[in-house]
Amino acid sequence: MDKLNLVYEGKAKKVYSTEDKSYFIMEFKDDATAFNGQKKGKIRDKGIVNNRISAFLFELLEKNGIKTHFVKLLSEREMLVKAVRILPLEVIVRNIAAGSLAKKLGLNEGEKLQRPVLELCYKNDKLQDPMINNFHAMALGIATQEQLKFIEETSFKINKILQAFFMQKGIILVDFKLEYGTFGDEILLADEISPDTCRLWDAGTGEKLDKDRFRRDLGKVEEAYQEVLKRLIEK
Ligand code: TMP
């Protein structure tokens, strides 16, 4: 299937229409931003690595009964996906305090939370993606109560599946961000799951294997992304 028109360009991906209305082609870029676009850079081959990691994790989730937009890999940087309409929500799940939650609640980064936490943010660059609750999401007409319940339950299920899987690979899943889209009557997991959208710490050393290396100028950014891919695909 060929790319037709660019329908969306985000910070890390481009989405194209195809001759079939039901499918989009998603292309992963090397561009990286942080702090709502204030910090800009490139991570060499990130697009290639994130395309493969996302494909791998979507397949893992599908095998475990989670419906996703993923159809198949097309090339190094491209995957075929179902043409969902993305809900303007960032769904964040956290197992361990880090990043903005550690700051907000005065916790030390690395403190285990007594139960997983789910947060919703309203995807809106102008407003810098403010955190919202279910009532805000319903008031904005983003999703119904039923859809929000499905998203919550699905996100916690995904957390269990990914946490157990990463642990087998010697990686702690600290937190991650999901996006969902509607496809007819269905809600599908969409966007990507990669070191751009997860915090992943080596279980032995605590070393960060994710985008915090870029956000915080920790060095060895490319190596960290490659390491995650290597661990996922090794038997
Ligand atoms: P935070 O601690 O900065 O709120 O980030 C929580 C998780 O969400 C972390 O794994 C990184 C991910 N994330 C994104 O994927 N996109 C974003 O725009 C932000 C702010 C966080």
Q: What's 102-152 look like in SS3?
A: HHHHCCCCCCEEEEEEEEEEECCHHHCCCEECHHHHHHCCCCCHHHHHHHH
Q: Whose CA is closest to atom 4 on ligand 1? A: 100
Q: Whose CA is closest to atom 11 on ligand 1? A: 197
Distance between CA atoms of residues 52 and 56, nearest Å? 6
Q: Indicate the length of the chain as a whole number.
A: 235
Burial of 234 (0-12, 13-18, 19+ CB in 10 A): exposed
Contact indicator for 150, 60 with CB cutoff of 8 Å: no
Is pLDDT of 132 > 90?
A: yes
Confidence category of residue 67, pLDDT binned at 50, 70, 90: very high
Contact indicator for 53, 166 with CB cutoff of 8 Å: no
Q: What sign has the CA pseudo-torsion 148, 150, 154, 156?
A: positive
Report pTM.
Answer: 0.98
Residue 165 tokens, joined: 């899987």
Residue to mutate (ligand 1; options 125, 132, 162, 175; most atoms within 8 A of CB): 175
Q: Whose CA is closest to atom 16 on ligand 1? A: 197
Longest Cα–Cα distance in the chain: 51
Summary mean pLDDT of the chain: 98
Nearest-Å Rg of the Cα atoms of the chain is 17
How, if at all, do strands 23-28 and 78-82 pair? antiparallel
Domains of the chain: 6-82 (3.30.200.20), 87-220 (3.30.470.20)
Q: What is the pLDDT of residues 43-58, one digit of tens each?
A: 999 999 999 999 999 9
* Mean pLDDT in residue range 217-223: 98
Q: How far is the CA of 193 from the centre of ligand 1 (A)?
A: 12
Q: How far is the CA of 8 from the centre of ligand 1 (A)?
A: 21
Q: What is the pLDDT of residues 166-200, one digit of tens each?
A: 999 999 999 999 999 999 999 999 999 999 999 99
Distance between CA atoms of residues 164 and 61, nearest Å? 12
Is the C-beta atom of 101 inside 6 A of ligand 1? yes
Atom of ligand 1 nearest to the CA of 198: 10
- Beta-carbon contacts of 40 under 8 Å, excluding residues fewer than 6 positions away, are 31, 32, 33
Name the phi and psi angles at 120, rounded to 5.
-115, 135
Distance between CA atoms of residues 59 and 72, nearest Å? 9
Q: How far is the CA of 21 from the centre of ligand 1 (A)?
A: 31
Contact indicator for 31, 40 with CB cutoff of 8 Å: yes
80 forms bridges with which residues in the sheet? 25, 72
Short-list 69, 76, 72, 80, CA closest to 19: 80
Residue 1 has a pLDDT of 84
Q: Whose CA is closest to atom 18 on ligand 1? A: 36
Distance between CA atoms of residues 52 and 73, nearest Å? 8
Residue 235 has a pLDDT of 80
Atom of ligand 1 nearest to the CA of 196: 15
198 forms bridges with which residues in the sheet? 176
